[in-house]
Amino acid sequence: MTAVAGSTTSVPYIYKHRYSDRQATEIALRDHLTLDQIPKEGGLDGIDFNYSITTGNPQGIADDFTTAQDVAETLKGVQPAAVPYTKYGDLVLDGPSMMRAKGGKASFYDLVTRSQDGILDELGAEIAFNLQRDRSGMRGRRSSAAGNVITLTNRRDVEKFKRGMTVIASTNITGASPRSGSTKVDGLNRTNGTITLNDASQISGFSDNDYLFRKGGNATGIEGFGVSTPLAVPTAGDSFRGIDRSVDAEALAGSRIDNTNQYPEELAGDLAVEVSIIGKGASKCVVFPTVFQAMVKRLGAKVEFMPGRTADVGFQYITIITAGGTLQVMSDPDAVYDLLRIFNPATHALKHLDENFVHFIRDDGRPNLRTSTTDGLETRARFIGNYVQYDTASHGVGRPAT
């Protein structure tokens, strides 16, 4: 729900005393490897953020000076413009629940902190989900239905849904022109690859092969890996942030290999070689956990741990040697299950507005509000930003056997 502007009043700062924006950032990052590890940069204010990508050196080279002058050519490059996108988290705690919890300080503390942690967790999870994908926000596809029990075309997609999430459907994978109506997710069955909806009939015309999206999250995500380095090579007429990347696809949209006959470790090595051939280098590879485990078994590799942003969270990785350099392969549940991505971590960033990439909204100095039409308190969190690759040639995407 949304509070009515001008009709809310300030209430005791129970949240502000508990969390700084830095703490909010820590909670939003936890358990999301790629989101945790990617550099965060402020400064994404104004209408857009322009950055440069160099794709070629000056070409005035010859065996004699006259010819060198004649063939002289300038530095080649492009200047994309990234625009900021917004994600919100909204939490309402009802008054009676808080009153009952006040009977014990521990109960009140539990109610507030767990609720606050939860909305920050979910906002972070949404950004991590978007970061690995294109802007569509597609979470799964309906294969069949038995009443409110929906079988998905891929059982791994169950992980993208949460109990209580409000979902919509569309015949378009892009999320455009969604069907009218929505319903909530009541249950998940990971073994069978099904989700149980509260009332599937609330989605008008809901049918097999429809795509499912979080309500308010279809075609509105950040421009993540899926669009910055797409599996499909850009063709003539492509326009990404005002740039036609087809003129030099590997330099402007990364390298790609689509070969489901190759094991992930083989394909990752070949992809690293492709990146190295054009004079770049990648040192990180991100895969889905089941793919990571299969790689560990085949390679007999030693699993190591890198520290996370917080002391109690670590991330798994193995090291593989390729002709294109050493790759640190990392397990990330946010990764697309049938894709792997390689990159140089120094060549990309999550650009954002405000000092921290997620923050509580208190533009008017009020960290929480009394709701205008119900007996409760409302607090709001926000992300404004976008994903940027400063050297796209150092990135690659592959679809191996899984």
| Distinct helix (H) and strand (E) counts, the chain | 9, 23
Mean pLDDT across 25-51: 83
pLDDT computed for residue 374 by the predictor:
78
Q: How far apart are CA 254 and CA 248, in angstroms?
A: 9
Q: What is the pLDDT of residues 294-316, one digit of tens each?
A: 999 999 988 887 765 544 455 78
pLDDT computed for residue 109 by the predictor:
55
- Highest mean pLDDT out of 27-41, 67-81, 307-321, 333-347: 333-347
Q: How far apart are CA 254 and CA 387, in angstroms?
A: 15
Quick one: which of 239, 286, 257, 253 has its CA closest to 395? 253
pLDDT computed for residue 14 by the predictor:
43
Q: What is the pLDDT of residues 339-365, one digit of tens each?
A: 999 999 999 999 998 777 888 887 777
Please give the single-letter amino acid code of residue 296.
Answer: V
Share of the chain above pLDDT 70, in %: 86
pLDDT band at 1 (very low <50, low <70, confident <90, very high): very low
Quick one: which of 345, 332, 341, 321 has its CA closest to 396? 341
Please tell me the class of the 138-214 domain: mainly beta
Strands 255-258 vs 395-399: parallel, antiparallel or unpaired: parallel
Taking the domain 1-133+249-402, which CATH number applies?
3.90.1690
pLDDT computed for residue 105 by the predictor:
56
Helix (H) or strand (E) holding 246: none
Q: Do the Cβ atoms of 32 and 128 come closer than 8 Å?
A: yes
pLDDT band at 322 (very low <50, low <70, confident <90, very high): very high
Q: What is the mean pLDDT of the chain?
A: 87
pLDDT computed for residue 21 by the predictor:
63
Quick one: which of 276, 274, 298 has its CA closest to 287? 298
**Token pair for residue 40?**
């965060």
Query: Which 8-state DSSP code applies to residue 330?
Result: E
* 175 phi, psi to nearest 5 deg: 85, 0
Q: Is the dihedral of CA 155, 156, 157, 163 positive or negative?
A: positive
Quick one: which of 159, 164, 173 has its CA closest to 197? 164
- Is residue 389 scored above 90 in pLDDT? yes
Length of the chain: 402
Strands 40-41 vs 348-352: parallel, antiparallel or unpaired: parallel
Mean pLDDT across 72-101: 83
Range list for CATH 3.90.1690 in the chain: 1-133+249-402
Q: How far apart are CA 124 and CA 161, in angstroms?
A: 14
Mean pLDDT across 266-283: 97
Q: Is the dihedral of CA 288, 289, 291, 295 positive or negative?
A: positive
- Is residue 209 scored above 50 in pLDDT? yes
Strands 325-331 vs 284-287: parallel, antiparallel or unpaired: parallel
Q: Which of 3-17, 115-129, 331-345 has the lowest mean pLDDT?
A: 3-17
Q: Residue 26: helix, strand or coil by DSSP?
A: helix
Which residues, other chains included, contact 283 with Cβ-Cβ below 8 Å and sequence gap of 6+? 325, 326, 327, 328, 344, 345
pLDDT band at 253 (very low <50, low <70, confident <90, very high): very high
**Residue 269 CA: distances (Å) to CA of 281, 306, 325, 329, 392:** 12, 22, 8, 11, 18
Higher-confidence residue: 110 or 6? Answer: 110
- Is residue 204 scored above 90 in pLDDT? yes
pTM: 0.85
**Residue 219 CA: distances (Å) to CA of 174, 211, 233, 305:** 6, 12, 21, 35
- Is residue 12 scored above 50 in pLDDT? no
Residue 26's CB is within 10 A of a number of other CB atoms, namely: 20
pLDDT computed for residue 9 by the predictor:
36
Range list for CATH 2.40.30 in the chain: 138-214
> Terminus-to-terminus CA distance in the chain, angstroms?
41
